[in-house]
Amino acid sequence: MASSSFKSTRMSIAASIRQAMGTISDIVYPPVCLGCGEITGTHGGLCGDCWSRLKAIEKPVCDVLGTPFPYDAGEGVLCADAIADPPPFAKARSAVIYDDVARSIVHRLKYSDRSDLAAVMARWMARAGGDAIGAADAILPVPLHRRRLLRRRYNQSAELARALSRRTGLTYLPAALLRTRATRQQVGLGTKARAGNVRGAFTVPEARRSQVAGQSLLLVDDVYTTGATVKSATRALLQAGAGAVYVLTFARVAPGPL
Ligand SMILES: [Zn+2]
């Protein structure tokens, strides 16, 4: 009896500490909706309105590109794009469709320096990217060019990759891939211009080749638009001897006209 009341006292002390810690982090980061910034009751969540609008990507999807199919055509079926223009990566997967809610989540990650947000996004990505994660030996982000990193201080894809590495136990390789050419922002460019803009922009430094040789790698980015960036990065990794590259992004632009 005495020991159980001691135990419950100990538990209530632990609970009060947790509560106090929660209060401290609430002061630093008040719990806001990750989509719209409205105050919500809990951390790492969305308000009801944003939840109802966020479109999670669920099976059935194209086995290679991961684009959602309107109906279930069976396991291992590919979309027309994957057949007409096979990508260099083995599979790509994304957690959600890039719509207004996803856009503001990505924007919040990019500009508000909130690494707690990366952990929440990584949780959604881990669920969507099970196949790709299961096949990978190590994980790495699409890198920013050194100059852009200096200006922004922060690579949002690296935050996502780091959070996913913590979650999955995959080895994190932050420096295996470099962006050696400063490229224009892809926003506003068409499909062809995007591919030209990032062609040959990535390289694996000689000293890092042993990290990628023969490995199955999970390449992480925030948004998949035409795939030009991850395709270019994949080619550099394969050239350096990677066995296979899988791609996992938080969001993906819905197929169809951009
Ligand atoms: Zn909201």
Residue 1 has a pLDDT of 44
Instruction: Give 104 Cα–ligand 1 centroid separation in angstroms.
Output: 10
Query: Distance between CA atoms of 63 and 33, rounded to whole angstroms?
Result: 33
Ligand 1 centre from 36 Cα, in Å? 4
For residue 135, how many other CB atoms are within 10 A of its CB? 16
Burial class (CB in 10 A: 0-12, 13-18, 19+), 20: exposed
Q: Would you state the pLDDT for residue 45?
A: 80
> How many whole angstroms from 113 Cα to the centroid of ligand 1?
19
pLDDT per residue as tens, the chain (258 positions): 444 555 556 656 666 655 655 555 555 567 888 888 888 877 678 888 998 899 999 989 999 999 998 888 788 899 999 999 999 999 999 999 999 999 999 998 887 766 678 998 999 999 999 989 999 999 999 998 877 777 777 789 999 999 999 999 999 999 999 998 776 677 777 888 777 777 888 999 999 999 999 999 999 999 999 999 999 999 999 999 999 999 999 999 987 644
| Angle CA 46–227–34, to nearest 5 | 10
Q: Where are the domains of the chain?
A: 55-252
Query: Could you tell me the distance, in angstroms and rounded to a whole number, from the CA of residue 244 to the centre of ligand 1?
Result: 38
On whether the CB atoms of residues 221 and 92 are closer than 8 A, the answer is no
Q: How far is the CA of 187 from the centre of ligand 1 (A)?
A: 25
Statement: 55-252 belongs to CATH 3.40.50.410: no
Cα 109 to middle of ligand 1, angstroms? 15
Q: How far does the centroid of ligand 1 lie from the alpha carbon of residue 135, in Å?
A: 34
Cα distances from 113 to residues 27, 110, 116, 156, in angstroms, run 16, 7, 9, 9
Ligand 1 center from residue 96 Cα (angstroms): 16
